[in-house]
Amino acid sequence: MVVFPNAKINLGLNVKYKRDDGYHELETIMLPVALVDILEILPANKTELFESGATLIDTPMEQNLIYKAWSLLKTQYDIPAIKIYLHKKIPSGAGLGGGSADAAFAIRALNEVFELDLSPLKMKKNAATLGSDCAFFIDNEPALATGRGEKLEPVQVDLTGKYLLLVVPKVHVSTAEAYGNIEPHESERSVRHVVSQPANTWQKNLINDFEASVFPIYPELKNIKESLYAHGAFYAAMSGSGSAIYGLFNDEPEPFFCSNARLIKSIKL
């Protein structure tokens, strides 16, 4: 079975406080975007992972989230070994949720291939054990995410006909680094409320808290954001804890040059 795990962006991201369990309480809206990996899963006699693409991370198979998704379901159901073919197009370590999407789409594919009859709720519960963003990709619809990112509520975000210009610099921002420098705080306005307002108010009110901790370390990211505004974006921000920066445009943007980017892509929403 072949599936196409897609990326996501964050509209606003408030890091509210550090919880007793060590995680941070978050509030963000996640939006699926049409930048996809290609994933094929087949029954096999031995579980193997074959990867290709330009954005690979050299890790053992046992650390891959797709493998972990299969291992998790294998502990619950009598499913055989699988062959995994993964072609990566979503940049890794960019705040776009590529690994989380691969894991969630693997759960969805395994459910169908092996006729497990898992409900969306059960798939989301399994996905949430693999990573904070994973559950989002089960329904794969715009959602308000709270908790550590696994508590999801549907939200109306209509950007139909707008354009997203995605810039992924040649910079890797580790999650530990981003969280290590963050100063949690309660926002005066909820992300849901801000996004419900006219989009021309987002630039002032829709904030990704990680920008305050990441931009001083990687000023080139701030420069990219400012360049997106200079090119006509009505809103620009870092996605997740970085390093991807995106701009939203009313009309298809002019080509954007950035010498330090590993990906620049225009996507119609």
The answer to whether the 2-154 and 163-268 domains have the same CATH topology is no
Write down the domain spans for the chain.
2-154, 163-268
Q: Which CATH superfamily is domain 163-268 in?
A: GHMP kinase, C-terminal domain (3.30.70.890)
Catalytic positions, written as ranges: 8, 133
> pLDDT 10s per residue in the chain (269 long)?
999 999 999 999 999 998 988 888 999 999 999 999 999 999 999 999 999 997 666 788 999 999 999 999 999 999 999 999 999 999 988 999 999 999 999 999 999 999 999 999 999 999 999 998 999 999 999 999 999 999 999 999 999 999 999 999 998 888 888 888 888 888 888 999 999 999 989 999 999 999 999 999 999 999 999 999 999 999 999 999 999 999 999 999 988 888 889 899 999 99
Secondary element (H or E) of residue 121: helix 120-128
Query: Which pLDDT score is estimated for 57?
Result: 66
Closest C-alpha among 169, 212, 174 to residue 13: 212
**Would the CA dihedral through 241, 243, 244, 245 be positive or negative?**
positive
pTM: 0.94
Model pLDDT, residue 81? 97
Residue 98 burial (CB count, 10 A): 25
Go through the chain and tell me how many residues it has: 269
Yes or no: say if 116 and 110 are a contact pair by the CB < 8 Å rule: yes
CATH of domain 2-154: 3.30.230.10
Report residue 152 as tokens.
């999801």
Q: Are 86 and 61 in contact (CB under 8 A)?
A: no
Ramachandran angles phi, psi of 38, nearest 5°: -120, 120
- For residue 56, what pLDDT is reported? 65
Q: Are strands 24-36 and 143-147 parallel, antiparallel or unpaired?
A: antiparallel
Burial letters 233-250, b for 16+ CB under 10 A, else e: bbbbbbbbbbbbbbbbbe
The pLDDT, as a whole number, for residue 22 is: 82
What pLDDT is attached to residue 180? 83
CA-CA distance, 217 to 213, in Å (whole number)?
Answer: 7
10 Å CB burial of residue 40 (0-12, 13-18, 19+) is middle
